[in-house]
Structure 1
C-alpha cells in the first residue's frame, strides 16, 4: 500500500495500513494541525509565566511537534513536549514528508532522529521526549498544561476514547489545562465530561464542522 498522501492544502500525510486510516485530514494536514493543536490549543496558553508542558497522544508524522517547536521559538516560550507513539514511522518515511519546505525549517528530522525515552533539549526553548509504547503502558512524569489528543478515529481505536482513558489523562492535567482533539463525536464529548473536563465545540478547519476543546476543572 502506498503510504504517502498529498492533502488538499499541499501538505503530506501518511496512510496507516494497520488501522486503514490517514494520519491527518485529507482537506489539509498542515491546516488541521495549525487550527486545532496550535491555535486552539497551545496558543491559548501563551504568554505563560512558566514553562509549558505539552503531552501528545500520537506522535505520528511529527507535524504537531514541529509546529509547537516553531511557536516556542517564535514566542521564546520554554516548552517541554512529551509524546507517545506505539507504531512509529521510519526515518525514510519521515524524509519523504514535505513539512520542512512548507514551514521553512530544517529542524523536522531532528524529532524523528531523537532517541526514545529521554529528555532531549533540541533548543533553549524546546525539550523533547518521545516514548515508544502504548498510552496505557505510559508512566507519566509530570503534569501537563496542554494535551494534543491525536489518536486514530474512535472506530479504529475505540480503546483510546473511553472515560477511563480520559480520567487517567485528567489526573495528569494541570488545573485549567487544555485538551484539544479533532474528534467531536458524542461518545468522545461524554467521556471527556465524565472525566472532569469542561467541553466546548469549536469550528473545525476547512469543511469540518466541529472540533473539541476540553478544560480541566
Structure 2
C-alpha cells in the first residue's frame, strides 16, 4: 500500500494513502489532533491511577508517543496496548520527523505480542490483530485486565466500514472497566447512536483547535440492578 508524506497545518506531518484517499491524521494538524482528542479528552479524563489504554490503530505511533510524554511528565504509570493489522516500518515512520526523542524509535522497534517496559512509567504491548473479528474475551486476555481508556483511531467509517460496526463497539464496551473512557474523532450521528446502543453514555465535545468542530467521548457507566 502506497503512503505519501504530507505536511499538516500545525507543521507536523501525516501519511496519505491514495488507495483509500485517506490521511492517517487530520490535515489541520496531526500532532494537535492527537493531543486534543486522545490525550487531553481521553487519558486526562480517566481517574484511574495506573490507566490501561487500548489504541485501535497503532499507525504512526504518534498517539503512543504523546501518551508516553504525558505519563513521564505526570509520573503516572500507563500500560499501553496498540492493535494494528498493518504495521508501518520504522524508516517510514522516521521520515515523518515527529520527534527527536529516542524513545519514539524504541516504541516502533519494540517486540510485538509482549509487554515491553519503555520507561518506568510506560509499558507497551503491540498486538497484530484484526479489530473487526477480535472478541471481548480475547481483548481481556491480551491485557489480563479491563481497559480504562480506549483511543478509537481507525480510518473513517466510509473507508473502513467494518471497523465501525456495532459489534466492534460492543466488544470494546465489554472489555472496559466501569467508568472507562473511549474517545474518537468521528462525531457522526450513526457512530454516536451505536455507542449509546451498546451501553455507553456519549457526549459531544469541541474538536481540536482549527480542526473538526466536534468529537465524541463515551463513558462506560455503572450498571445498577
> Could you tell me how far 1:106 is from its partner in structure 2?
2.6
What are the ranges of 5 or more consecutive residues in structure 2 without an aligned counterpart? none
What are the ranges of 5 or more consecutive residues in structure 1 without an aligned counterpart? none
> Could you tell me how far 1:15 is from its partner in structure 2?
1.4
Task: Give the secondary-structure state (helix, strand or coil) at the position aligned to 1:38.
Answer: helix
> Could you tell me how far 1:2 is from its partner in structure 2?
5.5
CA deviation string 1:158-181 (max 9, x = no partner): 111121110000000110100000
Match of 2:79 in 1: 80
2:151 aligned to 145, 148, 151, which one?
148
CA deviation string 1:84-104 (max 9, x = no partner): 011111111011012114xxx
Q: TM-score under structure 1 normalisation?
A: 0.93
RMSD, matched Cα: 1.3
Name the CA distance, whole Å, in 1 between partners of 2:109 and 2:4.
20
> Could you tell me how far 1:18 is from its partner in structure 2?
4.3
Name the CA distance, whole Å, in 1 between partners of 2:154 and 2:91.
22
> Could you tell me how far 1:133 is from its partner in structure 2?
1.8
CA contact (8 A) 1:100 1:107 kept: no
CA contact (8 A) 2:132 2:162 kept: no
> Could you tell me how far 1:119 is from its partner in structure 2?
0.5
Q: TM-score under structure 2 normalisation?
A: 0.90
Task: Give the secondary-structure state (helix, strand or coil) at the position aligned to 1:99.
Answer: coil
Name the CA distance, whole Å, in 1 between partners of 2:3 and 2:56.
24
Task: Give 4+ residue runs of structure 1 displaced > 2 Å after superposition.
Answer: 16-20, 136-139
> Could you tell me how far 1:184 is from its partner in structure 2?
0.2
Match of 1:93 in 2: 92
Task: Give the secondary-structure state (helix, strand or coil) at the position aligned to 2:52.
Answer: strand
